[in-house]
Chains A and B, each alone.
Chain A
Amino acid sequence: MGSSNKKLIRDDGKRMDGRELDELRPIAIKARVLNNADGSALVVWGNNKIIAGVYGPRECIPRHDQSLYRARVRARYNMAPFCSLEEHGRSGPSRRSQELSKVISEAFENVVIAETFPKTAIDIYIDVLQSDGGTRCAALTAAAVALADAGIPCKDMVAAVAVGKLNGQIVLDLSKDEDNFGQSDNPMAFSARTGEILLFQMDGLLTKEEVAHGIEMAKIASAKIHELQVEALKGAYDSEHKTKLELNIEPQKI
């Protein structure tokens, strides 16, 4: 978190990009965008562009990673070298991308029914093509669609969104500037049916009440994102599936 005295909420109560406090950026999701992966998805979330591909279950290599009881769920989050203008996330293996790969894998371990395929690995490759804050949430959202598209048995789908604190107010879905100069950033992932929290990270400080308020806000938003995920999956079975990906220009108010 950078300096927290920067003005990020305008006098009319809106955020610098004109969004309300509880407004998501425009989101478009498309399933089955890659031919060679078992399942795939593209998510365009504001200025984020993220592609996820799922392979598997397949033979688990290296073999010391394999389990006789379950399939390993391995996510690999990676930022493209051209994804960012500034210091926000750099490409290549880094502490940050290792951390995100780990937390994303762990979120999905809770929903994938891994006992069906012992000794195998389910690989989730996530590439960030363009980033503007909130990429881990968009990455989780994309990967969930790709997993469902691959037909891997899952208990539930995952939808993720961040909340944060700007000038003392709780807001939804932080952009890069809000993340860098706000007071707190709080990404969360939810199991769509049960509403269970599968990922919860916090950067900066929030009070107990602020966290509770943020979770409520994120839960409502994640239901909205889940709807878009379902639409994307159903869209893959439309006869006119080969249409262009269109971004819903209107921001989606929760």
Chain B
Amino acid sequence: MAKIVVPGVEVAQKPLRMAYTYTDGEGTFATVISLLSEEGKLIPLEGPYEPLQDDYVIGFVAEVRFGGYDIDIASPYRAFLSSREMRTKLSLGEIVMVRINKIDEVRSMELGDVRSLKDGILHKISPVKVPRLIGKKNSMINMIAQASGCRMLVGRNGLVFISSDGNYNLAVQAISMIEALAHTQGLTDRVSHFLSEKTGKSIVPPSADSNMNQAQTNGEGQGQQEQYGQREYSNSRPQYRRHNNYQR
């Protein structure tokens, strides 16, 4: 059974290089409130979004400037999107999905690979709970998309775009439920039970095989989620990756 650890709790008795820890040369200690699994993996329960290169994030246009836009990506840092990255213009408040092309040591960002998202709402969850919302091979997010009939896109920064063509209230409810219970076990089953009850249809978590089909049939939003599902998540993100990026 995984247990909750607070900052300063020893997670290993030897110096290790792990995300969300620090070492004093003798032991390794947690830096944020997290779940410590029996295998010694640390999964954070809270925390702000740390932008990293190649992250796909969702944000909105916060300011229209000369030659580009400032995008609010729900991180402490504003990100700049140059007009050269697009053929069309964006308007203030428009929701976009972007990739972080470049980020430097003072966290100035250049964005690219823009896609404007129309007719939907933004919902914010804690960025450390994004892996849980997506689930293994997109199982969780596909289940919600199927039950609610909405297209959904999840950014690494914890902003979720939900299209308004389905029952987005249901989608928001399910997302809030996942966020509140992210630290518990058997969450997929609980969410599937909740969705089945609400829709009156049988919503089951997709198995690994059927998942592929669904990703193709579920509309344009799904392609992106595929990429997220295959990534390794926060607990295994190497902390030194940022430094490598800077040296290049």
Contact = CB atoms under 8 A, between A and B. Distances in A.
Given A153-B32, A234-B4, A120 B44 contact: no
Given A56-B76, A113-B22, A237-B183, A154 B4 contact: no
Contacts of A149: 33, 46
A151 B44 contact: yes
A159 to B, nearest CB: 11
A234 B106 CA distance: 34
Given A58-B76, A154-B7, A237-B4, A117 B46 contact: no
15 contacts: A38-B48, A56-B76, A117-B50, A119-B106, A120-B76, A151-B126, A152-B48, A153-B20, A156-B8, A157-B6, A193-B8, A193-B9, A229-B6, A233-B6, A237-B45
A165 B6 CA distance: 34
A150 interface: yes
Interface residues of B, number: 27
Contact of A154 (B32, B44, B50, B107): B32
Contact of A151 (B8, B10, B33, B77): B33
Interface string A105-137: 000000101001111100000000000000000
A247 interface: no
Interface string B103-131: 00111000000000000000000101000
B227 to A, nearest CB: 25
Contacts of A156: 7-8, 29
B interface secondary structure, majority: loop
B238 interface: no
Which of B6, B45, B50, B128 has the most chain A CB atoms closer than 10 A to its own CB?
A: B6
A77 B52 CA distance: 34
Nearest to A118: B106
Given A148-B6, A157-B6, A192-B8, A39 B46 contact: yes
Contacts, number: 82
Interface string A147-182: 011111111110000000000000000000000000
Contacts of B126: 151
Given A118-B106, A119-B106, A237-B183, A151 B128 contact: yes
Interface residues of A, number: 32
A46 interface: no
Contacts of B4: 233-234, 237
B223 interface: no
Contacts of B211: none
Contact of A150 (B10, B46, B105, B183): B46
A229 B33 CA distance: 12
B25 to A, nearest CB: 13
Given A68-B106, A193-B9, 18 more contacts: A38-B48, A56-B48, A57-B76, A59-B77, A113-B22, A117-B48, A119-B107, A120-B76, A120-B77, A151-B46, A151-B47, A151-B126, A153-B7, A154-B8, A155-B8, A155-B22, A155-B31, A156-B29
A230 interface: yes
A113 B6 CA distance: 14
B81 to A, nearest CB: 18
B89 to A, nearest CB: 26
A100 to B, nearest CB: 23
B45 A119 contact: no
A35 B66 CA distance: 37
Contacts of B33: 148-149, 151, 233
Contacts of B7: 111, 148, 153-157
A193 B50 contact: no
Contacts of B50: 116-117
A192 B5 CA distance: 13
Contacts of B8: 154-157, 191-193
